[in-house]
Structure 1
């Protein structure tokens, strides 16, 4: 047993070292950073544009809802004809604004997903190509998009389940299940989903059937080998978060805070992808 543990620890250290060496190449880092940076910049532009459209709609909806509340008789009696007409008109305005809001939100989600698939898919493809995985860019992007869609839907399902449980277990303003408990349950579910998502992205150089077999072997059958690298990545991301919070709380200018975050995160993201792919190679 001790020999197996020593072997696993040795393999873990070797993969860590090799992935650092692989991801330390300037050309690789430049390509990966350019792809990631393009995603962040374009997403920021898209989000800012849509936010400028969405924010006034939300403000108008809130204003009309407060007016609707004030228009309703306090004694629960039927409003007079004039008041009823005003209520109907305000309700129609709220409906129209809500439709516009959902329209912009839907487009924002679609644009974000498109940017994610193109640029984050490219970043993962670059990592695969770094390890000599033979897969074309277009083929990989198709696989990455399909996998991303599946995990996005699963994420939405988890969030909806948590929200539904919170609603059902709350009665008369008293939560039957503590909010913190629900938060931790949701966080654990999302982390578990991330575990499978990361290793899915790391096996997308394979065809569908081979990919499923590789994913099952990596994430399920060989979890003792695949879980430690994933935990290591989570710890590193946690440290990154703490460092960025410390920089932000230190009063550093926003521009320099963002710049520091990019300088740290972009090489780290490139390394994580290579590390996950190398972990899969080692298990396969």
Structure 2
């Protein structure tokens, strides 16, 4: 069992022939915090005694279950990632956020038929669906969407800073980059695998129109306007603030948050709103 908590990440298993549970971690301090806060009977940490988890300790099943119950009792926050940032730092929160983004693929990993048409799953279908979800060019893979947005914005920044381009040439270059990304999101680029029913007119464009209150707009232009929201109001603005002296760690954190939110949008998931609970 994997456990993502505000004080650490753990993998908990029962080894063959053992009565106790083994609690594994990638950071030794995570086990220290767990022991101090919830599991005083957790054994001493053993280092470099396993495979991909360098730190581990053992505890009785009863003590572990009681600790988990207490963790549940202690939940008093509405946003897990924000609480992780407060307790364990923004670096840890950013890593957790990356895992969260990867898990978005669970909802888009297969082009499932309508519920009334579903058949029993089979091994071949499941393997194929999982293989598709892992492909770098599958638009149901959040890493694919995230990379698409980052590359677009990076090329846009290059165009803005290219001293050989005048204003007209710069704007033309920005429009081309915007259009190319929009064509991918609308399933018009054969180099990418679309989500059937989503990456096409009447899918992603309607979600963008609803999010930004865009009316009477052709699909391609609508998606371009959504991408422009990311570029103009988020990334370009942050680049200007960085140039004016804002600390790099502040602008980069805000940029990461923007990419995360727009990845959600272009995958058909709700963007976080201030004041709403984290899902």
Could you state the TM-score of these two structures normalised by the residue count of structure 2? 0.33
Q: Which has the larger radius of gyration?
A: 1
What TM-score comes out, normalization by structure 1 length? 0.33
The structure whose RCO (Cα within 8 Å, separation 6+) is larger is 1
Larger strand proportion of the pair: 2
In terms of fraction of residues, the more helix-rich structure is 1
